[in-house]
Amino acid sequence: MTTAKVRASTILTAFGEVESELVGKAVVLTDGKAGMVQSVWLDELHGLRISIKGHDGKWPISTIKFEQSCQELSEPAPG
């Protein structure tokens, strides 16, 4: 396998891991936007970006301040 194919394969594998980890999770961004991650995008200029249900646009994953699975949100608080 050529060096370019190895690098491309590595990038696509990492993209798949991030996508499966983030899609469906509740997030809060550094600008205060909050919602459930709908999609993960690989942008040539900006790297990995996410779209959030109910908000127009895409944001870098580096702006995620907090993430939580939807299952954790629906569980009652201990005590």
**Domain ranges within the chain, ordered by starting residue:** 3-73
3-state secondary structure 10-74: HHHHHHHHHHHHHCCCEEEECCCCEEEEEEEEEECCCEEEEEECCCCCCEEHHHEEEEECHHHHH
Whole-prediction pTM: 0.77
What is the CATH code of the structural domain delimited by 3-73?
2.30.30
Per-residue pLDDT of the chain (79 residues; tens, 9 = 90+): 899 999 999 999 999 999 999 999 999 999 999 999 999 999 888 889 999 999 999 999 999 999 888 666 566 656 5
Listed in sequence order, the residues at least 6 apart from 3 whose beta carbon sits closer than 8 Å to its beta carbon are none
